[in-house]
A and B are shown apart, each in its own frame.
Chain A
């Protein structure tokens, strides 16, 4: 029979505004946390990662925040552009990328 997929949560943001995408992770022993962007019909694309002993890491227009106390990860995108529209996934690793498991995704819609 046909499988029923979950509907992804959607975040709608006005072009030029900042976006914040959140993720809860499960394994307190994970050593890296990663954010991926997936456009329709394509494979995931690495955006940024953060090591578990860090709280914050910045990239080009993106910032990742890690709160180990509540097992929470967030991705901030500054000055969101139409090209940022995609599904964003968080992931966690053990053994330094030996095993990489994905979390739930969030669909980002940028309103021109």
Chain B
């Protein structure tokens, strides 16, 4: 198993540009999450999904959209990037039936918006 993978690993955008971050997991997990982490801070939940075709807002959803068209993929979109969205983005997944199983994280995507 590859676990949780994220594409791309690094990206530099100009203000106003758009992009999509891809998260993929091969563990057949129902739950998936997108977080952002700013320097010296904890992770903040952007959006999450409890199954294919469903998404929900987290703590900081503004400026982001997500889609879960396939169970294994969770996409995070920035329609019009702003410098405040410069951050490291982490995706994670979790198996619904195994309540005490671990939440697996991807390696992160480092995004800079100029």
- Spell out A's residues near B (CB within 8 Å): 1, 3, 5-8, 32, 34, 42-46, 49, 51, 89, 95-105
Contacts and interface: CB of A to CB of B under 8 A. Distances in A.
Which of A42, A49, A102, A103 gathers the greatest number of chain B CB atoms within 10 Å? A102
Contacts of B74: none
B107 A43 contact: yes
28 contacts: A3-B86, A5-B38, A5-B39, A34-B103, A42-B107, A42-B108, A43-B90, A43-B92, A43-B106, A44-B105, A46-B103, A51-B99, A96-B96, A96-B99, A97-B31, A97-B99, A98-B48, A98-B50, A99-B45, A99-B58, A100-B48, A101-B44, A101-B58, A101-B59, A102-B35, A102-B43, A105-B41, A105-B42
Given A44-B90, A45-B105, A99-B45, A7 B58 contact: no
A1 B15 CA distance: 12
Contacts of A32: 99-100
Interface in B33-81: 33, 35, 38-45, 48, 50, 56, 58-59
Given A1-B83, A44-B90, A100 B42 contact: no
A87 to B, nearest CB: 9
Given A6-B41, A7-B40, A44-B43, 19 more contacts: A6-B40, A32-B99, A32-B100, A34-B103, A42-B108, A43-B90, A43-B107, A44-B92, A46-B103, A46-B104, A89-B42, A96-B96, A96-B99, A97-B103, A99-B56, A100-B94, A101-B45, A102-B42, A105-B41
Given A3-B84, A51-B100, A99 B38 contact: no
B34 to A, nearest CB: 11
Contacts of A44: 43, 90, 92, 105
Interface of B: 31, 33, 35, 38-45, 48, 50, 56, 58-59, 83-84, 86, 90, 92, 94, 96, 99-100, 102-108
A11 B103 CA distance: 25
